[in-house]
């Protein structure tokens, strides 16, 4: 019986309930709060992004006293930033809003650095990811993940198992296929510096990242044991070439799935995973109504008569009801509210 897991932010947040909140990867509404509390968002390199977040929540940067003041729907904020202020047309010329342009480019590196830190500090000894991997049969397990962090991959390797990102061969011994639908912090895309070169500073290097899809070579996968030592500044300014984190930031309906060629492969593999699974387990994923691409994937490619288990806290019943209208699932199980509850029952 083949099991497919769909992991969302709630899975990584709930990987170890004993940890204080600030030591867990944040949920969507605290993506900027967590950066402020860790000191990352206070850095000069992210000044434009901080300014835009503050403007969105109605605050002034100098008045921020705690990360709680920056809580917001990150998807709505970034979608508005992308859609409402891309350029200003004036007398047949395009005048770029520099602060917005910097903020959009910066957010790729901000999310890379934010989640790199959690992954670097992660101890997979007895967390829920590791316990789950050790209890399940790796030969009949497929994983779809919406998360940028590598806590899952670290738990898999800690358990003595391998994983693959882009292979559609699901029968490889002792290897779990992992499909990261929104990219991963250990995926980077090489940009030719001469094509986007505007200066030596971090802001100058990354300013054109969001609006361009130039590249010299294929996607580079960073080794899990080494990438934790590579910070965002080294990616952008450490070499002659600029490296872009190959992430799809949470731009809501404005997500750009065509920016990196490998995203196409990821989504095709995801279709195959769903099509050959007997059970889908949704862990910490909201499966939002406005996530049309994910909903279409589940509606079109989930195998008929699949059993669906939803483990997403208070949203579980709502998600099950939504999917019951989109799929031909044979049953829905919402008995387990949290990640730890599900793992203990395995």
Q: How many domains does the chain have?
A: 1
Whole-number pLDDT of residue 87: 47
Whole-number pLDDT of residue 293: 93
- Coil, strand or helix: which one is 163? strand
* pLDDT band for position 203 (cuts 50, 70, 90): confident
CA distance 120 to 163: 19
Cα dihedral value 62, 116, 21, 77, nearest 10: 50
Phi, psi of 245, deg, nearest 5: -60, 125
> Does 262 reside within a domain?
yes
* pLDDT band for position 94 (cuts 50, 70, 90): very low
CA distance 296 to 326: 9
The DSSP code for 258 is: T
Whole-number pLDDT of residue 214: 59
> Does 73 reside within a domain?
no
User: Among residues 167, 332, 156, which one has the least CA distance to residue 262?
Assistant: 167
CA pseudo-torsion sign 156, 160, 166, 170: negative
> Does 14 reside within a domain?
yes
What are the residues facing 244 on neighbouring strands?
189
User: Among residues 303, 34, 301, 313, which one has the least CA distance to residue 149?
Assistant: 34
Whole-number pLDDT of residue 194: 58
Q: Which two tokens stand for residue 117?
A: 């830190």
Q: Calculate mean pLDDT across residues 221-230.
A: 84
Other Cβ atoms less than 10 A from the Cβ of 136: the count is 17
CA distance 174 to 188: 26
For the chain, give the percent of residues with pLDDT over 70. 91
Other Cβ atoms less than 10 A from the Cβ of 257: the count is 14
pLDDT(213) > 90: no
Mean pLDDT, all residues of the chain: 89
List the domain range (segments joined by +) for residue 244. Answer: 1-26+123-346
What are the residues facing 283 on neighbouring strands?
7, 311
Find the CATH number of the domain harbouring 129: 3.40.50
Cα maximum dimension of the chain: 65
Other Cβ atoms less than 10 A from the Cβ of 106: the count is 25
> Does 263 reside within a domain?
yes
User: Among residues 126, 221, 132, which one has the least CA distance to residue 176?
Assistant: 132
User: Among residues 159, 81, 102, which one has the least CA distance to residue 126?
Assistant: 159
* Antiparallel, parallel or unpaired: β 88-90 and 93-95: antiparallel
Whole-number pLDDT of residue 90: 42
Could you read off the pLDDT of 286-337 as tens digits, one per residue?
A: 999 888 999 999 999 998 899 999 999 999 999 999 999 999 998 999 999 9
Whole-number pLDDT of residue 216: 53
Phi, psi of 109, deg, nearest 5: -75, -30
Whole-number pLDDT of residue 176: 96
- Please check whether residue 311 is in contact with residue 339, taking contact to mean a CB–CB distance below 8 angstroms: yes
* pLDDT band for position 237 (cuts 50, 70, 90): confident
Could you read off the pLDDT of 41-90 as tens digits, one per residue?
A: 999 999 999 999 999 999 999 999 999 999 999 999 999 998 876 544 44
> Does 170 reside within a domain?
yes
* Antiparallel, parallel or unpaired: β 162-164 and 331-333: unpaired
Residue 289 CB-density burial (10 A; 0-12 exposed, 13-18 middle, 19+ buried): exposed
pLDDT(280) > 70: yes
> Can you give the pTM of this predicted structure?
0.93
> Does 82 reside within a domain?
no
> Does 326 reside within a domain?
yes
Whole-number pLDDT of residue 91: 39
Q: Which two tokens stand for residue 70?
A: 């920056």
- Coil, strand or helix: which one is 299? helix
> Does 156 reside within a domain?
yes
Whole-number pLDDT of residue 84: 72
């Amino acid at each position: 019986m083949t099991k497919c897991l769909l992991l969302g932010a709630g899975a990584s947040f709930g990987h170890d309930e004993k940890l204080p909140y600030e030591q867990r990867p944040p949920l969507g509404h605290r993506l900027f709060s967590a950066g402020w509390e860790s000191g990352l968002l206070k850095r000069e390199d992210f000044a434009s992004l901080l300014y835009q977040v503050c403007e969105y929540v109605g605050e002034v940067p100098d008045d921020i006293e705690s990360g709680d003041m920056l809580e917001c729907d990150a998807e709505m904020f970034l979608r508005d930033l992308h859609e409402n202020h891309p350029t200003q047309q004036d007398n047949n010329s395009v005048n770029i809003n520099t602060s917005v342009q910097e903020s959009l480019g910066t957010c790729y590196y901000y999310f890379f650095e934010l989640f790199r830190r959690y992954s670097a500090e992660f101890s997979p000894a007895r967390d829920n990811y590791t316990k789950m991997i050790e209890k399940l049969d790796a030969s009949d397990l497929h994983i779809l993940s919406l998360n940028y962090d590598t806590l899952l991959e670290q738990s898999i390797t800690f358990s003595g198992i391998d994983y693959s990102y882009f292979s559609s061969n699901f029968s490889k011994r002792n290897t779990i296929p992992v499909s990261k639908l929104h990219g991963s912090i250990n995926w980077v895309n090489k940009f030719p510096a001469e094509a986007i070169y505007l200066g030596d500073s971090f802001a100058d290097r990354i300013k054109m990242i969001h609006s361009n899809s130039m590249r010299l070579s294929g996607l580079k996968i960073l080794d899990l044991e080494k990438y934790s030592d590579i910070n965002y500044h080294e990616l952008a300014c450490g070499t002659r070439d600029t490296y872009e984190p190959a992430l799809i930031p949470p731009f809501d309906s404005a997500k750009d799935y065509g920016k990196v060629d490998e995203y196409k492969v990821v989504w095709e593999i995801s279709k195959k995973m769903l099509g050959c699974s007997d059970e889908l387990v949704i862990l910490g994923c909201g499966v939002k109504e406005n996530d049309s691409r994910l909903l279409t994937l589940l509606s079109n490619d989930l195998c008929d008569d699949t059993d669906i288990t939803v483990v997403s806290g208070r949203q579980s019943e709502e998600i099950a009801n939504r999917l019951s209208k989109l799929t031909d699932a044979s049953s829905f199980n919402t008995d387990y509210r949290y990640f730890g509850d599900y793992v203990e029952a395995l």
